[in-house]
Amino acid sequence: MVLVTLYVSRLWKEFWGIKPKQPPTYRGWLPWFGCAMEFGKGPLHFINKKSKELGSIFSIKVTGEYMTFVTDPKDFQYFFQSPCLDFQKAVQGPVQNVVSITKESFFAYHSSIHDLVKGKLASSQLAPMSDKLYTEFKEQLAKLPESGTIDLNRLIRSVLYKSVLNILFGKNILPTDDEQYRELEDNFTKFDEQFEYGSKLPAFLLGGWSQSRQYLIDMFKNLVDSEKKKSQDLPVSEKTLLHNVLECVDKENSPNYSVLLLWATLANSIPMIFWTMAFIVTRQSVYEKVCNEIEEKLPEKLETITEADLRKMPYLKSCILETVRLRSPGIIPRYVAKPFKIRDLTVPAGNLIFASPFWAHRNPEHYPDPEEHKPERWNMKDVERNIFPEYFFAFGGGRFQCPGRWFGLMEIQIFVIMFLKQFTCEAFDPVPQPSPFHIVGTQQPLGPCMVEFHRKNVI
Ligand code: HEM
């Protein structure tokens, strides 16, 4: 009887042309362009404004395409687990625009690259990484002057880029002489700043950005063959992440995959280290608590830093997770491969759909006083056991969740410990606002955060 009723009601709907209810849609006022102008002026805030007007699930029309946004964290598990939503189809086009990896190559190799990075950076593989991070940071921090006044972001980039590249790509395989290295840093910064425009617009419209992209591709063209050859003779334990990726992909696209790997390893973690340090050094009480925890839990003279050491410092870890909550990516994309039913709505196949961790993490129901950086809101027991709260989605979810998350968190912990163990640091500016233009990854700061530092100890 029930089946018959359902069948008749379906026929009835089809007969009368009743379509499934779609999310409320804002089309803007320009034909085809839709609301591209309004969206482009500040996409991060536009998402929030429209979710207040239209509800937590809504669509907008931008340059002929419909984009749907999901902003309530209660819907995120369902979003990330749905077989109707496809990660690869959502990112293939942007990846082709940004680093010119062909469609065929992308679909042939993407899953293997993901699994490889996930395996190499799994939490169970990180023990040797903590020692490598310790050694690299020690070397780069020793090069800082005894004291200085500098923008915190600049300071962090100068230490971090080199360290991370040496660990994940190979010691000194990328430029190390100061001038060449600065060139690499400048080009990467430009590439990263306009990454989102590059993923949408043709390269010829983005003069400076295209040059930086070409610089990075050419840099890898000059070294991929020799590195691949070198890696064949290395024991597994000595192969870098770059070696592993080069062994996995096709020769023609290998410089382009290398640029993509470079971006994935630096673009979120470096700004996240900046934000963590900024949230710590701009408030005396937090700064003192972190420094005290470091002093109490670690010996005065460090030989290395282990995972066991890190577990002894839950307050620092809470400061980091609270920072990650507040500076999570604005959007995480999926392609609607089959009509996607969510609540009483159906998102039609062909739309792009986005979860917004940045706004989900500002839902006062789950995070009271959401704009406040409050390390105390984290449950210390869960923090010690690496358990994230139910409504925390900074690293995405499902099959293609961020494979570098455990390494990323470890990088931040070890950097903060090593910097604050060696230097005093006083901030002259408050924590800057996050840029509303950066929505794909962690936001860049809108302004400077000037700090004065003095060396107090040599590790
Ligand atoms: C701490 C800062 C980081 C944040 C907030 C972050 C966040 C993310 C997010 C949201 C995604 C997309 C996941 C999805 O679609 O479900 C992602 C993907 C990715 N992340 Fe991270 N990430 C961070 C650090 C890192 C680090 C340190 C690495 C590598 C060393 C890394 C490597 C990657 C890679 C390779 C992907 C692409 C995965 C794929 O294409 O299948 N991430 N990350």
Asked if residue 402 belongs to a known ligand binding site, the reply is yes
Place of tokens 């929030």: 48
pLDDT beyond 90 at 149: yes
Taking alpha carbons only, the member of 328, 324, 323, 314 closest to residue 280 is 323
pLDDT per position as a tens digit, 9-53: 555 555 555 678 999 999 998 888 889 888 888 899 999 999 999
355 assigned to some structural domain: yes
Taking alpha carbons only, the member of 307, 316, 218 closest to residue 276 is 316
Residue 5 burial (CB count, 10 A): 9
Q: How many degrees, rounded to 5, is the angle at CA 290 between CA 420 and CA 304?
A: 50
What's the total number of domains in the chain?
1
* Confidence band, pLDDT 50/70/90 cuts, at residue 6: low
Could you tell me how far CA 104 lies from the centroid of its own chain? 25
Give residue 85's domain range: 19-455
Q: 99 alpha carbon to ligand 1 midpoint, in Å?
A: 17
pLDDT per position as a tens digit, 377-397: 999 889 888 889 999 999 999
323 assigned to some structural domain: yes
Residue 336's DSSP bridge partners are 85
10 assigned to some structural domain: no
Say how far apart CA 248 and CA 245 lie, in whole Å: 5
* Confidence band, pLDDT 50/70/90 cuts, at residue 254: very high
272 contacts 409 by C-beta, under 8 angstroms: no
Say how far apart CA 337 and CA 364 lie, in whole Å: 32
Structure confidence at residue 9 (pLDDT): 55
Half-sphere exposure of 384 (CA within 13 A, CB side): 9
Q: 459 alpha carbon to ligand 1 midpoint, in Å?
A: 31
Q: 264 alpha carbon to ligand 1 midpoint, in Å?
A: 6
> Per the structure block, which two tokens stand in for 12?
């009835």
Q: Summarize the confidence of residues 433-443 as an average pLDDT.
A: 90
- The dihedral region occupied by 89, where left means phi > 0, alpha psi between -120 and 50, and beta the remainder, is alpha
pLDDT per position as a tens digit, 302-331: 999 999 999 999 999 999 999 999 999 999
Whole-model pTM: value is 0.94
155 assigned to some structural domain: yes
Give the residue, out of 109, 156, 324, 395, with the most ligand 1 atoms within 8 A of its beta carbon, to mutate for a pocket test.
Answer: 395
101 assigned to some structural domain: yes
Q: Which amino acid is at 444?
A: Q
Q: How many degrees, rounded to 5, is the angle at CA 436 between CA 430 and CA 437?
A: 130
| Residue 91 alpha carbon, nearest atom of ligand 1 | 40
pLDDT per position as a tens digit, 154-173: 999 989 998 999 999 998 88
Least confident of 141-145, 169-173, 239-243: 169-173
Structure confidence at residue 173 (pLDDT): 86
Structure confidence at residue 63 (pLDDT): 85
For position 430, which CATH number holds? 1.10.630.10
Could you tell me how far CA 8 lies from the centroid of its own chain? 48
14 assigned to some structural domain: no
